[in-house]
Amino acid sequence: MNYPNGKKRLIRKYQNSVNRNQSFSNRGMTLEEDINATNQYYLTHDICVIHKKPTPVQIVKVDYPKRSAAVIKEAYFKQASTTDYNGLYRGHYLDFEAKETRNKTSFPLHNFHEHQIKHMKDIVKHDGIAFVIIRFKAHEKTYFLDATKLFPIWDRQYLTAGRKSIPHQFIIDEGIEIPTHYPAIVDYIKVIDQLFF
């Protein structure tokens, strides 16, 4: 199937399976696509309202080879974006970043940016719920990590020349594996219910 952006997408039929705990994480979708599909499910079923934040871009040059086929030739980020997603659940503000890695033993901290960490600290300071969703593709596992557990690791890398990565074992111990099933592929709301409600 071709989408309007020209990308081809393989459509697979999801069969009702006896095994309800089947993992859907290695279907070829990216974490972002899985979260977008999950958020759409949440919205459709009136569970919560979470949206991906658009990245502010300044378009500088556009080529118009023909009227129906404008092509952006040059564009720049207007400002540093904050995190990937935000919204509301049960009257609480949610804000989170989604990252994935092929690394088997740790998650590199350089995948985060200083302004993202500062933004999440501001959210927590004002009683919002900030977190990260991290997928280890090699293990086919996706984890929820409360941002308050990320902050000390982030700060330590500068204060004491500490590690430049988060060990996989730390994420297993301090995070929570997110259940993966269809149709809520990355069902992070179940984790939020467990931790906050």
Q: Provide the pairing of β-strand 106-108 with 165-167.
A: antiparallel
User: Binding residue per annotation — 140?
Assistant: no
The per-residue pLDDT for 150 is 96
User: Binding residue per annotation — 116?
Assistant: yes
Report whether CATH 3.40.1350.10 matches the domain 31-196.
yes
pLDDT level of residue 16 (50, 70, 90 thresholds): very low
94-115 pLDDT, tens digit each: 999 999 999 999 999 999 999 9
User: Binding residue per annotation — 84?
Assistant: yes
CA 9-135-102 angle, to 5 degrees, is 85
pTM: 0.75
